[in-house]
Structure formats: structure tokens, C-alpha cells
Amino acid sequence: MRKSEFSGIRSFLGKTQKELAQLLGTSLKAIQSFEQGWRRIPVHVERQVLFLLAHHLPLSGESKQNCWITKNCPKENRLHCPAWEYRLGHLCWFINGTICHGKIQATWQKKMTLCRKCEIFQSVLPSV
């Protein structure tokens, strides 16, 4: 996640740096460092910020679409995919170990490279 995206999300959520620090369970100094680009934004912070953002927005009918329907996922892949198992097709981007493009996405970085291009992720999150 880029520093501009991080600060844009904070702004969109209507939170001060201090309020976001409290929400994320981190320090004000950490938030300032993320926004200035002095420190990399850790994966757990990125995930939590995106989760908050996704739940800050009212979901339209289209954005509640399950990934396995949108992506026409084969049944054999669905049966082994955590998004299917927990019925969280609109949050498939949030869950590690999902099966996208026929392969398990093992790391957050690799997963997010695919997810940022996906209509499921894009429909839930505004462009910030």
C-alpha cells in the first residue's frame, strides 16, 4: 500500500491520525511514519485499514456478489477455498489462502497484486 493511499483512506474514513492509531491499536508516531513514507505499512495494518474501509461504505447489490459466481469458479476449486467455506465471496480479497485463477494465493503481497485488478475488490472499495 502506498503512503498516499493510506492517508487517502484515513481521510475518507473521516479519522484524524490519532483516531486511526487508536482504531488500529498502534501509535500516532506509526501513523505519521506511514503517511510520510518513513516506514513501510505492515501487512496487518493494510488489511485492517482495507477492512474498515470496505465496511464503512454501504454495499450495493452488485458489490455483494460472490466471487465464485462472478469468476465462474469451478466447483472443485470452491470446495477448497476459504471464501466459499465461510460464505464470504464479497470479502475474498481479505482472506488468505483463497483460490484465485486456479491457484492458492499464499502471500498477502501476491494476493493483493491480483485483487487490486479484480472487480470484486474494486466494487467494495472506492478509489482513494
Render pLDDT for 74-99 as a digit per residue (tens, 0 to 9): 999 999 999 999 999 888 999 888 98
Residues 9 and 24 in one domain: yes
Residues 72 and 28 in one domain: no
CATH of the domain at 40: 1.10.260.40
pLDDT at 16 over 90: yes
- pTM value is 0.79
Other Cβ atoms less than 10 A from the Cβ of 98: the count is 27
- Domain membership of residue 93 as a residue range: 62-124
**Cα separation, 30 vs 103, whole angstroms:** 35
Residues 91 and 42 in one domain: no
| Residue that has been written with the C-alpha cell 484524524 in this structure | 16
> What is the distance, to the nearest Å, from the Cα of residue 11 to the centroid of all Cα atoms in its chain?
17
